[in-house]
Amino acid sequence: ELSTLLRDVMPTLAGEVSLDGQLLFSQGTEKGLQVDYDGTFGLNDMNIGSSDFSTRAESFTWTGKLHYGAEEDTPAKIETNGLLAAQKFNFAVPASELVLEESRIDLNGKTTVTLGENIIVENDGSLLLEGTKFVLPPFGITEESIAWKGKAQYEAKPKQEGQFVRVDGVLDLGEFQVEGGDQSAPYGLGGKMVSWQGVVGFSQVDSGTRSILELDGYLSGGELRTTLAEPQLRVSQDKVELKTKATISLGEIINMDSLSSLTLQNFTVFEGENDSPSLSFDQLAITDIESRGEKTIGVKDLQAVGLKSSIPGGFTTILLFRSFYRGSEKCHCPRAAGKKPPCHRCT
């Protein structure tokens, strides 16, 4: 049995394997070795591990087509097009108390792996995770669902710059909860939903000594809640919207080149055990947040509605205004020239 042969390196190896499909081998002088498989591979009641880790799943199946080609003088390629599905998946590392659980995993789409001087992985498809639980003390994450649809590319250049990753698509998170921090200063973060649509890229340059992070897209969140023990604060916002196009250089010096817009709705801050908020506003909109270089940040327009601030001693300041700062628009009203009356921007 396979478990007997691998007993020294893999003491735990159990499960029921099934294979149903058509396998074709061919070898030619021009196309070289060609392997094609069309069918299903299954592994039920999977239990694989050692003293260092354990991997379990009620079912683990792949259905689709697989092609391997190794033509002469060209990099070998592996192409898959199908569905990888798992039920009740569990991965654990006892030494670090790491635990990852997924009640459902569906990975669907087309993947191409190029095995040459550089390793390239390209995927066009979708991913669905349900019932996610991740624990790595003192951190813990629970996630109702994670859904991704789009394109992803990974390239490793071991003899050149380093690694390159780029994803372009839509990511939707369902209801989630994040907990962490030590016992003296724990924190919690939760929400009903988070969605990202756009591009995220990461690359290493200058022989891997510097990294570039690229963001170009739209982020939104709903009913977000943050709790801090030190200082004792509770922060909530019903809706968050961020539109950004940014390039961040990470190295000895951190540089950011970005242009973003941010909107918060029904933002509230509570201090201690107080039920009355110390700060709240109905809406805050910041337009064209621009960063160029290390230290320069500019704002074109900042608008707030329904700002309320509570002062210790029972006083509450209510500011009902729409616009209180416009940073990049030059004013040409009489007051700007030392005359009266002033315009609405200068009051």
Look-up of token digits 């500011």: 319
Distance CA 152, CA 216 (A): 15
Tell me how far CA of residue 301 lies from CA of 323, 327, 337, in angstroms.
8, 6, 22
pTM of the model: 0.81
Q: Decide if 310 contacts 279 (C-beta within 8 A).
A: yes
Reported as a pLDDT band with limits 50, 70 and 90, residue 323 is very low
Q: What integer pLDDT is reported at residue 339 of this predicted model?
A: 43
Tell me which H or E stretch contains 2.
helix 2-5
What's the pLDDT score for residue 88? 96
306 DSSP 8-state letter:
S
Q: How many CB atoms are located within 10 Å of the residue 320 CB?
A: 10
pLDDT band at residue 205 under the 50/70/90 scheme: confident
d(CA 165, CA 217): 16
pLDDT tens-place string over residues 25-63: 998 877 788 999 999 999 999 999 888 999 999 999 999
Work out the number of other CB atoms within 10 angstroms of the CB of residue 173. 20
**What is the C-alpha separation between 45 and 299, in angstroms, rounded?**
57
Q: What is the DSSP string of 122-133?
A: EEEEEEEEEEEE
| Arithmetic mean of pLDDT over the chain | 85
Q: So what's the pLDDT on residue 292?
A: 75
Query: Which of the pair, 13 or 344, is modelled with greater confidence?
Result: 13
